[in-house]
Structure 1
């Protein structure tokens, strides 16, 4: 099941929303603070949020002063439940097909969505066209040590060099993600004119694990790759 379809699957959507509701994922304590720490000041910027889901990041950016946030997602159900803000405009589109006019925005962001995109290099090329000179592209993805194994297993790294499609059981069977090495991800950015500002692998601190024991597994291997880059 493709990423453009999975969030409209009732069983998947129920499991995902329960995970977010209970705070037992990695988003609230790990990914969101790490993303916020590397975002540039967004006052008066025009922003695109790729794979916006229910709009959490898009609304945070709008509340921080962004002039406009174009929030894009393929899921009808996620967008139907998305948080509203006057500066946020939601667009339903598969990320593989979405496009904008050249120089349309100042910042492109994506939170834990681009591992569902098959052709990452093509996406980076489009992002480079959309951005104004000096614009930023900031994104998080599932870490390649997590996506690598052909058969997912807890804390087992295998098949790292073999990039491409992976199928996972996550609330439902057959969820399709795409594995890319760190080197391949960064090379695609450089190839399309981006310089690297931050490359991070957020891991919970011991005191976070003490407060939230479900995060302990994420000290054994990094769950997230976070990249902040600038055009030109």
Structure 2
């Protein structure tokens, strides 16, 4: 299933009001850690899968990437990226992540930020990424953490006064589709275990070099007090891997 919620007017409008949509990478809670997991980008050929507004494409160019290709299925997202985060070294393509078909060894670095939990066949994407990466190339990705995606409700257990008591985890081993409520819309996500993420990468020839489950930084908590509960359970899973 190739989902394109971001071209739905109501959904896009709500997404555009989120802190990370307005503030970019500096407002993304996982960015301080994800940034450290990226290899040196100077002179590299970079592919961004699910590039959205193009924040990571812009960052890659600022770090000296030779070329950047940003892939996304949303016309609205790509229109924003082209208008605000474009230069002669960035090319944007309207394409589903599942449909990428690049040449062998075409890229040195592949990035994907919070997009691959919307993809049903993660292992198939891993094969395509492995194919288009040069030997020794890096694949750095972030997804919603499996503890977060296990239950479709994706919500806290509340006490009698509406207080957040704990984060329930159930059906963790039952992988597959979840219909979650996000920005007042039903959104299809795909839950898989941490083991499934890791093994899909290993099985196609990646060497996993680092895993992270970041918490908001003190600076982020000061600026966005609503993030305080994000320290109680992981919301993001970050992985860096290298093509052997």
| TM-score greater than 0.5 by the shorter chain | yes
In the alignment, what sits opposite 1:226? 238
Counterpart secondary structure, 2:103: coil
**Structure 2 counterpart of 1:147, from 136, 143, 149:** 149
Contact 2:25 2:55 in 1 (8 A): no
Map 1:13-162 → 2, pairs under 5 A: 13-20=12-19, 28-82=27-81, 83-154=85-156, 155-162=167-174
1:6 aligns with 2:5: yes
**Structure 2 counterpart of 1:215, from 227, 230, 238:** 227
Cα offset, 1:63, TM superposition: 1.2
Counterpart secondary structure, 2:7: coil
Counterpart secondary structure, 2:202: helix
Farther off after superposition, 117-126 or 12-21: 12-21
Q: Could you say if the C-alpha distance between residues 174 and 181 of structure 1 is closer, same or farther in structure 2, counting changes exceeding 3 Å? A: same
Q: Could you say if the C-alpha distance between residues 6 and 27 of structure 1 is closer, same or farther in structure 2, counting changes exceeding 3 Å? A: farther
Contact 1:58 1:71 in 2 (8 A): yes
Bigger radius of gyration among the two:
2
**Structure 1 counterpart of 2:211, from 194, 199, 218:** 199
In the alignment, what sits opposite 1:165? 177
Q: Deviations over 1:145-170 (max 9, x none)?
A: 11111333222211100001001111
Q: TM-score normalised to the size of structure 1?
A: 0.94
Farther off after superposition, 84-93 or 148-157: 148-157
Aligned residues: 231
Q: Deviations over 1:46-66 (max 9, x none)?
A: 010000001000110011100
Farther off after superposition, 142-151 or 125-134: 142-151
**Alignment RMSD (CA, Å):** 1.9
- Ranges in structure 1 where 5+ consecutive residues have no aligned partner: none
- Ranges in structure 2 where 5+ consecutive residues have no aligned partner: 157-166
Cα offset, 1:209, TM superposition: 2.5
In the alignment, what sits opposite 1:184? 196
Counterpart secondary structure, 1:18: coil
Cα offset, 1:212, TM superposition: 2.6
Alignment partners' CA distance in 2, 1:107 and 1:85: 19
